[in-house]
Amino acid sequence: MRPLMRLLMRPLMMLAGVLLALPVTAQTCAGNPDALGTARVLGVDAATSPRVGRKQFPTTLPLAAKEIVLTFDDGPWPGTTPRVLDALEHECVRATFFLLGRNALAAPALVQRELADGDTIGYHTFSHPLLSKMSLAAAGAEVDRGIAAVDRAAYGDTKESNEHPAKPHTPFFRFPGFAASPALLERMQARGLVVFGADLWASDWNPMTPQQELALILHRLDAAGRGIILFHDTKAETARMLPDFLRAIKTRGYHVVHVVQNRREGS
């Protein structure tokens, strides 16, 4: 029954994908006329943007002043990801989640909620090793296993976890701990995967209160003026802080940009 359901759901999900690619402005946010909203959708691909994020690379996404991209790593996590999704949904903003394969398999309903909410799903390996410390073959296998697990949880794909190279639904990847190497980066580019770094972050791997995290990220954002922001939806302080952060960036005049796979005509 389940494979049949998936088959039947696929055209609906594709249609939903087309509709979800449209920005949800504050004016069209159900139940929240004062919502932050998603200002625009930006298509990204490895041909034009193989590596983005100035913390790691010389270039980043083509964002205008006061434009930000929200990204969350390491989920999904049952204790915290639902609160993050609630906050995003309430403000009608869309984000990108770089998922761990093992967490996606453990909580597929959360992955499917991210998709249903219109968020972008990217990949962050299966179990979060530092890939630069592994052999190229072992690193490649870990990446492929992560892609297979996430796509199984998200889309019901049945590709084998040892398929190499695994073809992901959305070619967005972030290295755990940003631990890349020139050889790994070359391989990612050859596979057509966009490697996301970040332009700024909340340092939410350090223990702090939600109030401290809010002050820190707003300070850094006002200094940078734009950029890809890295959070972890596995962190309780981030989940607690997020509603206030989204309110604060609306007050300060920032605009949320939703990144999606750039689909060229005919592809």
Which residues of this chain interact with Zn ion, rule CB under 5 A? 73-74, 176
Distant-in-sequence, close-in-space partners of 153: CB < 8 Å, separation ≥ 6:
99, 104, 105, 107, 108, 111, 112
Q: Among all residues, whose Cβ is closest to Zn ion?
A: 73
Q: Which is nearer to Zn ion, 98 or 254 (CB)?
A: 98
Cα–Cα distance, 142 to 101 (Å, whole number)? 9
Distant-in-sequence, close-in-space partners of 172: CB < 8 Å, separation ≥ 6:
44, 96, 98, 120, 122, 123, 193, 194, 196, 259, 261
Minimum gap (Å) between residue 71 Cβ and Zn ion: 11
User: In 3-state terms, what secondary structure has residue 93?
Assistant: coil
Distant-in-sequence, close-in-space partners of 22: CB < 8 Å, separation ≥ 6:
41
Instruction: Identify the CA nearest to 228 among candidates 98, 128, 115.
Output: 98
Cβ-contact 154, 109 below 8 angstroms: no
Minimum gap (Å) between residue 70 Cβ and Zn ion: 15
Minimum gap (Å) between residue 205 Cβ and Zn ion: 9
Minimum gap (Å) between residue 256 Cβ and Zn ion: 22
Cα–Cα distance, 7 to 16 (Å, whole number)? 15
Minimum gap (Å) between residue 172 Cβ and Zn ion: 14
Task: Quickly list H helices, 65-198.
Answer: 81-90, 101-106, 108-116, 136-155, 182-190
Q: Which is nearer to Zn ion, 74 or 204 (CB)?
A: 74
Q: Which is nearer to Zn ion, 100 or 257 (CB)?
A: 100
Q: Which is nearer to Zn ion, 62 or 78 (CB)?
A: 78
Q: Which is nearer to Zn ion, 57 or 173 (CB)?
A: 173
Cα–Cα distance, 239 to 81 (Å, whole number)? 7
Q: Which is nearer to Zn ion, 131 or 154 (CB)?
A: 131
Minimum gap (Å) between residue 100 Cβ and Zn ion: 7
